[in-house]
Structure 1
Amino acid sequence: MYSYIKGMVTMIFKDHIVLENQGIGYMIYVPNPYSFKTNSDMTVYIYQQVKEDGHLLFGFKSLEEKELFLKLISVKGIGPKTAVGALATLEVERIVGAIESGNINFLKKIPGIGPKAAGQIILDLQGKIVLHNEPSINPAFDEAIEVLVALGYREADVVKIMKKIEDDALDTNGYVKQALSLLVK
């Protein structure tokens, strides 16, 4: 399984790019191929789909895009090509916002998503999408999030509350206590 590939974009097509690494050109399906530039070095975050008739690579410019893609394909009836189409059509934040607010009409704008699939996406993913833009440099903060999720709180709620805690010098227990006091309110 691949996590990412660093290389040079050598070709751009309507639904994929070719990323050369160590003399090998990888054909990678991406949401917006024309947002890439030929002869530029890139890191592309990869999802590999293994099927009977072949192996396909799907690539993303950011971990945030890849995380949302993985969440979308976990929904029954949503395949990788539909999920890539969703990311090609709309920004990550707008898709997440529509899921969180339960906006079926907005999700139906995505090619290949009808009312039933939009409802299923909301049912399966609402309150479960937490996109990590950058890794935290505070391990106690991250551990506190894991503890609170293990206690049964939704990860989206926990992350929102944790962002309100301004003291950076707390240990894990300190973060958990402060977060619990905010969650109970």
Structure 2
Amino acid sequence: MIGRIRGKLLAKQPPEVVIDVQGVGYEVQVPMSCFYQLPELGEDVTLVTHFVVREDAQLLFGFTSLHERTLFRQLIKAQGVGPKLALTILSGMSAQQFVQAVNAGDVSLLVKLPGVGKKTAERLVVELRDRLSALGSDSPFTDAAPVQNQGDSNTLVSDAKADAVSALVALGYKAAQAEKAVQKVHQQGATSEALIRDALKSFS
């Protein structure tokens, strides 16, 4: 199993990044909470990882903290939750917010996430409450801060909006819903990371 990866950040197209490790480019899917903390392209990055092997694919998921990887692994153990939904959950709220919601049995907050209906939310609370109680609501999860991109903001505006919409769709939101959310939070010169972060907040 691949538990850690370190190399140069080659590409960022949320929720996927490409990391160059001695000439080999690894595609890694990361939740947006981790995506915001990534360095600039060409810089070194280290992620703890979870490797998923399926009949039709081999997928690598990356995280900037062991706590988030632990939560991801607990999520995919829950009935009806696969890696994609787990990634969506960790993109829609911070790990700390999720733990607090589960411990409090706050189903109404969980159902705001795409792909999480009432039954799934109730199942998450029942199955994960005991497992996550050890983490506690005061665990050192870190809320991510946006990464500032370099370049001419005027030339990046349209690309930033398109990238933000594309990322939200990849995370499970409907295209029309994603476009509306991005348009609502768009500000001149905003990066795609900032637009995604603000759009996700608007769903909560």
TM-superposed deviation, 1:35: 4.0
TM-superposed deviation, 1:133: 5.2
Q: Structure 1 residues 127, 115: closer, same or farther in 2, change over 3 A?
A: same
Pairwise mapping of residues 1-185 of structure 1 onto structure 2 (< 5 A)?
1-32=1-32, 33-36=35-38, 37-129=40-132, 130-131=134-135
User: Scaled by the length of structure 1, what TM-score is found?
Assistant: 0.68
User: Scaled by the length of structure 2, what TM-score is found?
Assistant: 0.62
Unaligned runs of 5+ in 2: 142-204
**3-state DSSP class of the match of 1:111?**
coil
Contact 1:99 1:125 in 2 (8 A): yes
TM-superposed deviation, 1:89: 1.0
Amino acid at match of 2:31: P
Give RMSD over aligned pairs: 1.6
Q: Larger C-alpha radius of gyration, 1 or 2?
A: 1
Amino acid at match of 2:51: Q
Residues paired across the two proteins, number: 134
Identity of aligned residues (%): 34
Partner Cα distance (1:126, 1:87) in 2: 16
Partner Cα distance (2:130, 2:100) in 1: 10
**Could you report, residue by residue, the CA deviation over 1:83-114 in whole angstroms, capped at 9, with x for unpaired residues?**
01111110111000000010001111111111
Contact 1:28 1:59 in 2 (8 A): yes
**Could you report, residue by residue, the CA deviation over 1:125-174 in whole angstroms, capped at 9, with x for unpaired residues?**
1122134759xxxxxxxxxxxxxxxxxxxxxxxxxxxxxxxxxxxxxxxx
In the alignment, which residue of structure 1 is the partner of 2:154? none
